Chain A
């Protein structure tokens, strides 16, 4: 069997194992909820019968491992349980399945994340490569100081700064990104411009710095010196000699930042009232709607693990030396 295929299968197995442990953690944290679960959710006014029925419905009378496999089976078949909210104390039940709450918002969040990635990745690669090329020049120093500064800005600071400038002063973009799936693409892009711009500013700094560091690291190698002695131009050395070997760390950083992007949307979505999964999660946390929280966390964790797996595979393909660890 091809060694690359074998390694990928090994990584895949490891990711499934991690996912299993993560799901156990997510599921079992609810066990730590202080006090009686049913009473806490339904409120003090709930009748004992209602509480008992609620507990039976959640399966709280069953042992932990039975409930875990029940829940996991549901997750695998796309059934994440039923939201707690909308459950009346008088026996009325207006609650909705978690999957119905998550699914429409999922596409919104993924739209925002990919929109941002499309701007941020080329921009940071360009900045990273050019600063490495002209390192210690005024251009490099300026970009470095600016990125070190923006790296430490909280997302909401960047977001509100952009709102102040582009929505309040100059009414270029709307300050609220209330999108809906039936809008044309142009409208979608126009409305989500500010959230995407915020996220771009936040992640470009990190990606650009890592790209620059990866390339500069390689410049200390003897084969780069050799290329210099041959009289090659700096541009050619960086693009043809350093960059191919820098792909592995760069792809890793990109994957890491994409993973961050999916999480970073939480705050940005709240600022711009963007109807995404982050907003849903915050609402669920405030209402202590555990099934919705579990569903959202599962989604975030799966994305995170998948992106890391993807980064691993890319770095193995671009750097065959990783196939034979030590």
Chain B
């Protein structure tokens, strides 16, 4: 940081990432990334591979039932079987696909809803639309999200589709707040005013003038919201009101096998079985947080070493 001060302005300008392709920029970024971020990216990549190629990796079918329930770890069943005799190893692999897939779908939906409404509210600053949307969002945010989700699931019924819609709508309020706040700083810029005077359409202004300028905070927020949604869905599934059986899902797997923990002194592997899906959830959340942390650090230019 200190060394840049004594360089000439011209030198500084010329060394700014001049004509590098996207690929080169990414490689440069990767090389400067701290080990925690690299670890995070490796884990995310691994999870995505497992999720995509689940049927090829898994030894058995997703809900294939074998006669021996609660089989111990061994040759035939690498991580044993659950209370119905389904292979845990297989269900862990399929769980990646279901749990992550639903979490990504929910996050994308919540960004589509929250992001577009937030942009509209920012452009329509202190107009009736902004007022209306902001008041609704305030009210929804005054109810704790997990509790609100539980109530809505009780009313509409628990299935994957309802789960995605309900969590997306509740989560969209947070995305709305952030998008509106960062977009407000851009809306007052002269070039947006110019675009309006030029007679550009609302959609064009949103996409071409505002969106590119608020992308970095939104990307970081996407990571954080994904984590939050992922943990919420895992929590709801754990409570038995999220993803429903026979779909393999990490949250419900923890619940189904939780009783095995008590046998730790007889068979440590059995006691570890319910912790495996929980660990899979935790590891992905940690990985995403590490990457987002690095990304925020990088884009905000914040250095806390004075």
Contact = CB atoms under 8 A, between A and B. Distances in A.
A154 interface: yes
Interface stretch (A19-27, A87-95, A313-321): A19-27
A164 B261 contact: yes
A260 B288 CA distance: 22
Contacts of B231: 152, 154
B146 A266 contact: yes
Given A152-B282, A285-B241, A157 B275 contact: yes
A286 B238 contact: no
B234 A154 contact: yes
B282 A297 contact: no
Interface string B72-83: 000000000000
Interface stretch (A50-58, A102-110, A143-151): A143-151
B279 to A, nearest CB: 7
A169 interface: yes
Contacts, number: 151
Contacts of A270: 238-239
Of listed B36, B143, B264, residue having the most chain A CB within 10 A: B143
A72 interface: no
Contact of A304 (B143, B234, B274, B278): B143
Given A156-B254, A160-B278, A267 B239 contact: yes
B144 A293 contact: no
A288 interface: yes
Interface residues of A, number: 58
Interface of A: 18-19, 21-22, 25-26, 29-30, 32-34, 135-136, 145, 148-149, 151-157, 160-161, 163-164, 167-169, 175, 216, 219-220, 259-260, 262-263, 266-267, 270-271, 281-282, 284-286, 288, 290, 293-294, 296-297, 300-301, 304-305, 308
Contacts of B241: 282, 285-286
A160 B306 contact: no
B190 interface: no
Given A148-B293, A267-B235, A301-B144, A153 B152 contact: no
Contact of B150 (A30, A160, A285, A301): A285
Given A160-B278, A164-B271, A164-B275, A29 B143 contact: no
Interface string B148-185: 10111111110000000000000000000000000000
Nearest to B156: A32
Interface in B80-96: none
A29 B152 contact: yes
A30 B279 CA distance: 37
Contacts of B306: 219-220
**Residues of A contacting B: mostly:** helix
B227 A22 contact: no
Contacts of B234: 154
Given A152-B285, A154-B282, A154-B285, A26 B238 contact: no
Contacts of A168: 261-265, 271
B214 interface: no
Nearest to A296: B147
Contacts of A266: 146-147, 150, 239
Instruction: Give the 3 A-B residue pairs with the shortest CB-CB distance, closest first.
Output: A152-B285, A168-B264, A157-B278
Contacts of B119: none
A308 B272 CA distance: 40
A156 B238 contact: yes
Contacts of B156: 32-34
A263 to B, nearest CB: 4
B139 A169 contact: no
A148 B143 contact: no
Interface string B272-306: 10110011011001101110010000000000111
10 contacts: A21-B135, A25-B143, A151-B289, A157-B254, A160-B258, A168-B265, A216-B304, A266-B239, A267-B235, A282-B239
A263 B142 contact: no
A297 B154 CA distance: 12
Contacts of A305: 142
A293 B271 contact: no
Nearest to B152: A29
Given A22-B139, A285-B241, A290-B154, A155 B235 contact: yes
Contact of B143 (A22, A30, A163): A22
A296 B138 CA distance: 20
B240 interface: yes
Nearest to A21: B139
B139 A154 contact: no
Nearest to A161: B275
Contacts of A304: 142-144
B254 A160 contact: yes
A305 B147 CA distance: 14
Given A18-B138, A154-B234, A263 B275 contact: no
